[in-house]
Amino acid sequence: MKELFPAKQVNGFVFSLVLTVIAISVYFVDMSYEIGLTILLVTAFIQAGVQLIIFMHAGESKDKGSIYTSLFYAIFIALVTIFGSLLAMVWGYM
Amino acid sequence: MEFFERFAVPHPSPLIYASMVAIGLTVLAIIFGITYFKKWGYLWKEWLTTVDHKRIGIMYMISALLMLFRGGADAVMMRLQTSVPDNTFLEAQHYNEVFTTHGVVMIIFMAMAFIIGLMNFVVPLQIGARDVAFPRLNALSFWLYFAGAMLFNISFVIGGSPDAGWTNYYPLASNDFSTSVGVNYYNWALQISGLGTLMTGINFIVTIIKMRAPGMKLMKMPMFTWSALITNAIIVFAFPVLTIALIMGTLDRQFGTSLFTSTSGGMDMQWANLFWIWGHPEVYILILPAFGVYSQIISTFSGRNLYGYKSMVGSMVIISLMSFLVWAHHFFTMGHDAFTNSIFSITTMAIAVPTGIKIFNWLLTMWKGKIRFTVPMLYSVAFIPLFTIGGVTGVMLGVASADFQYHNTMFLVAHFHNVIIPGVVFAMLAGMTYWWPKMFGFMLNEKIGKWAFWFVSIGFCFSFFPMYITGLDGQARRMYTYSESTGFGPLNMLSFFGAGVMAIGFIIIVYNVLYSIKNSPRNIGDDPWDARSLEWATQTPVQEYNFAITPEVESSDAYWDHKKKGYQLFKGNIEKIHMPNNSGLPIIMAGIMLVFAFSFVFYIWAGVIVAAIAFLACLIYRSFEKDDGHYIPVSEIKETENKNGGAN
Ligand code: HEM
Ligand SMILES: [Cu+2]
């Protein structure tokens, strides 16, 4: 029976529901803007990871090398673009 | 009549009217010619509907050459205008339109098309594939690019050209300062050809990752294929930024938003930021395939395998990441604090290191090699010192504090032409000459080719080196004229002279093509250059299916091993081959897109809606269409192979 029950997927589903609840709580619970945004960002990234690994099966097939490479490449470029733009257009702008 | 008034050119001149007549006559002549020789059917069946990567590649390259002449004519006009002080050949507005058109045409419609064309022709052959992963998407890519190019090119006779520079900075590009529909043309032409490019990016990544011949590990791919893989990765990550920036520009100009204005919470410099987030990776999109071409050519004509294969690959991977780290060096003077400028200054200088590694690898490949100075090799050898000068002046510009002196002067113009012409243009001419026999079954005349090489490269030096000096002396870029007292006159005259010499070089290239079509021998065999990589293991000219038997490979110089070490490339038997069917849908969809974009440029909403519905209908049709391709039977393959003396 054990092989038939998709424990990983069910746990993943519960976990992603928990993450969603935490994210929604930012709206209802009274907290500062910074803390709220931090919670949102953190839960969003974990959520994306859960979806990718558990439900989109990254890492289960032969080409997991290319999948993870392009994923990290994309994350790197996204972060660089966002923080670089903030630096160029807001923080470092006189 | 009111409806048609919008199509009038806002700043007419005799030159423009003459071009209108010329364009009209050329179109008529082409239509008449094709009809007269009854070639419509042939054209439609063999070319316009083709999904064959080789033919698509050739069409890209033909378009690129046409655009080279369009952009070249603009260049000569600009150099003519600035050749003497206080010249009145072009007025300020026309000069603006000409340099804008020149920049866009050369980067987007010439250089991009040329590299994508070469990739199309060469990559599947180099990896032993029969076509790209998505052949029909590939055709759509080409036709979207072509639609974008045509849209852009009619702007100067219908409605007015863009005039805010190829960089199209706001607020200059906003409705307030650029009042004609020109910048709308810019937005839409780049948008649709950019979509084509993005699809090419995805297509080639999949092709290279998934469709390599058995045995060709990643680290056994020929260097041009490696450069294509990296380039397409950059395309996929950089082009979406351009797409978004262009949409934002369209919203501002055509729907009254204020994203790029300094009032209402907008930010005009945000355009510059987004443009260069795409724009700097874009210059590496252009140069990396050129590096790939040089790697193949230098190794072939030095008779040696490429020195430092791993470091070549490694440096390209590093460049692809770092190309996303440096973009703010294009606006050091915008008003950053010293800390911000220092960061981008350091990343900019660091990117010169992997580039330098590649230069040494090429030099070491030639070291002790037995060099044959053919036309492709001449371009490659000239590339090394000339490109190095461009790189060094790039590092000078990368020094943020010093850039306050160089920025927006002719020094900058000299820098980027110095990297783009010996880098990209030489590579394309070299690559075209090198792979020409595979494309057409005869070689370009070497002697005439060498004449062209000398004209182009000496012309280049005369044309652009003087700009370094006038730039340091303070001549600003994009100024339509200057007074005699500045003393810029003589050097600008020299530059005009150089541009003329280059133009002659390009005319010689055209003459060479015509001459060679007529006079070159056709019995050149499959490997006229004594080359090394897999594409030379095909027949000349290449069959529709590329390889009768899928090759098996053990090194990046598979064909060399076959020739020198008796390595067996084709181990299996001939089996029936599955090939994709031709389709008219791509060209029709691109045509609809052209109508859509043209209507959008002129705010003709009826046209926009009809075209959008038609486009959607094509997508739906495609989703339900059953198209399983076709098989070429063994008997037919055997017949073709025998007729042409068979590859094995
Ligand atoms: C060693 C490598 C390079 C360095 C350090 C470098 C550095 C720079 C810098 C700092 C600028 C901006 C200067 C200013 O606006 O004041 C610039 C402009 C430019 N570079 Fe480079 N560059 C390098 C290689 C290349 C290559 C390989 C290409 C193209 C194939 C290229 C194409 C351009 C273009 C098109 C512009 C300016 C466009 C414009 O403003 O209209 N560069 N470069
Ligand atoms: Cu740059």
In angstroms, the CA B379 to CA B457 distance is 8
In angstroms, the CA B603 to CA B284 distance is 35
In angstroms, the CA B90 to CA B92 distance is 7
Residue nearest to atom 22 of ligand 1 (CA): B394
Residue nearest to atom 7 of ligand 1 (CA): B394
The one-letter amino acid at A37? L
The one-letter amino acid at B431? G
In angstroms, the CA B31 to CA B394 distance is 47
In three-state secondary structure terms, B169 is coil
The domain made up of B1-286 is a member of CATH 1.20.210.10: yes
Residues A7 and A25 in one domain: yes
Counting beta carbons within 10 angstroms of the beta carbon of residue B84, is it exposed (0 to 12), middle (13 to 18) or buried (19 or more)?
middle
The one-letter amino acid at B636? E
Residue B322 CA to ligand 1 centre (angstroms):
14
In angstroms, the CA B612 to CA A69 distance is 37
Instruction: Show residues of chain A in contact with B267, CB under 8 Å.
Output: 89
Every domain of chain B and the residues it spans: 1-286, 542-579+630-648
Residue B476 backbone phi and psi in degrees, to 5: -75, 150
Are the C-beta atoms of B224 and B313 separated by less than 8 Å?
no
Query: A75 to chain B: nearest residue by CA?
Result: B237
**A17-63 residue pLDDT tens:** 999 999 999 999 888 999 999 999 999 999 998 888 888 887 777 87
Residues A46 and A80 in one domain: no
Tell me the average pLDDT across B373-395: 96
Give, in degrees to the nearest 5, the angle at Cα B255 between B12 and B247: 90
In this prediction, what percent of chain B has a pLDDT beyond 70?
99
The pLDDT assigned to B472 comes to 95
Among candidates B233, B324, B344 on the partner chain, residue whose Cβ is nearest the Cβ of A81:
B324
Tell me the average pLDDT across B44-68: 95
Instruction: Show residues of chain B in contact with A82, CB under 8 Å.
Output: none
Tell me the average pLDDT across B114-143: 96
Closest ligand 1 atom to residue B333 Cα is 16
Tokens of B429: 């001419």
| Terminal-to-terminal C-alpha distance of chain A | 65
Taking only Cα atoms into account, the Rg of chain B, rounded to an integer number of angstroms, comes to 25
Are the C-beta atoms of B140 and B230 separated by less than 8 Å?
no
Could you give the ipTM of this predicted complex?
A: 0.84
Tokens of B592: 């609809």
Smallest CA-to-CA distance from B101 within B163, B179, B37 is with B163
Distance of alpha carbon B468 from the chain centroid: 25
Taking only Cα atoms into account, the Rg of chain A, rounded to an integer number of angstroms, comes to 18
How would you classify the pairing of strands B630-632 and B577-579?
A: antiparallel
Are the C-beta atoms of B478 and B165 separated by less than 8 Å?
yes
Q: CA dist B80 to B58, B221, B495, Å?
A: 33, 46, 9
Distance of alpha carbon B262 from the chain centroid: 34
Q: What residues pack around ion ligand 2 (CB closer than 5 A)?
A: B 280
Residues A49 and A9 in one domain: yes
B20 CB neighbour count, 10 Å cutoff:
16
**B276-327 residue pLDDT tens:** 999 999 999 999 999 999 999 999 999 999 999 999 999 999 999 999 999 9
- Residues A87, B340: C-beta atoms closer than 8 Å: yes
Beta bridge partners of B630: B579
In angstroms, the CA B388 to CA B272 distance is 28
Q: Which residue segment(s) compose the domain that A91 sits in?
A: 61-94
Residues A14 and A51 in one domain: yes
**B440-481 residue pLDDT tens:** 999 999 999 999 999 999 999 999 999 999 999 999 999 999
Q: Determine the residue of B419, B424, B467, B472 to mutate for testing ligand 1's pocket, defined as the one with the most ligand atoms within 8 A of the Cβ atom.
A: B419
- Tell me the pLDDT band of B627, cut-offs 50, 70 and 90: confident
The pLDDT assigned to B297 comes to 97
Residues A52 and A70 in one domain: no
B397 within ligand 1 shell (Cβ under 6 A): yes
Tokens of B172: 């200059």
User: Is the omega angle on the peptide bond into residue B171 within 30 degrees of 0, that is, cis?
Assistant: yes
Residue nearest to atom 40 of ligand 1 (CA): B330
Round the average pLDDT of chain B to a whole number and report it. 93
Smallest CA-to-CA distance from B248 within B172, B180, B141, B170 is with B170
Q: What ligand has the least distance to the C-alpha of B167?
A: 1
Beta bridge partners of B409: B476
**B69-94 residue pLDDT tens:** 999 999 999 999 999 999 999 999 99
Residues A51 and A83 in one domain: no
Domain count, chain A: 2
pTM of the model: 0.93
Residues A1 and A45 in one domain: yes
3-state secondary structure B238-273: HHHHHHHHHHHHHHHHHHCCCCCCCCCCCCCHHHHH
Instruction: Say yes or no to pLDDT of B576 above 80.
Output: yes
In angstroms, the CA B19 to CA B441 distance is 36
B289 within ligand 1 shell (Cβ under 6 A): no
The pLDDT assigned to B120 comes to 97
Residues A37 and A67 in one domain: no
The pLDDT assigned to B1 comes to 64
Does any CB of chain B come closer than 8 Å to the CB of residue A66?
yes
In angstroms, the CA B581 to CA B595 distance is 26
Counting beta carbons within 10 angstroms of the beta carbon of residue B613, is it exposed (0 to 12), middle (13 to 18) or buried (19 or more)?
exposed
**B522-542 residue pLDDT tens:** 888 889 999 999 999 998 889
In angstroms, the CA B516 to CA B510 distance is 10
The pLDDT assigned to B645 comes to 61
In three-state secondary structure terms, B336 is strand
Residues A87 and A73 in one domain: yes
Does any CB of chain B come closer than 8 Å to the CB of residue A93?
yes
Beta bridge partners of B336: A93
Instruction: Say yes or no to pLDDT of B384 above 60.
Output: yes
Query: For the ranges B173-177, B427-431, B458-462, B554-558, which has the lowest average pLDDT?
Result: B554-558
**B190-249 residue pLDDT tens:** 999 999 999 999 999 999 999 999 999 999 999 999 999 999 999 999 999 999 999 999
In angstroms, the CA B434 to CA B449 distance is 11
Instruction: Say yes or no to pLDDT of B273 above 90.
Output: yes
Residue B520 CA to ligand 1 centre (angstroms):
40
The pLDDT assigned to B182 comes to 93
In angstroms, the CA B495 to CA B475 distance is 13
The pLDDT assigned to B10 comes to 83
Residue B288 CA to ligand 1 centre (angstroms):
14
In angstroms, the CA B94 to CA B162 distance is 10
B425 within ligand 1 shell (Cβ under 6 A): no
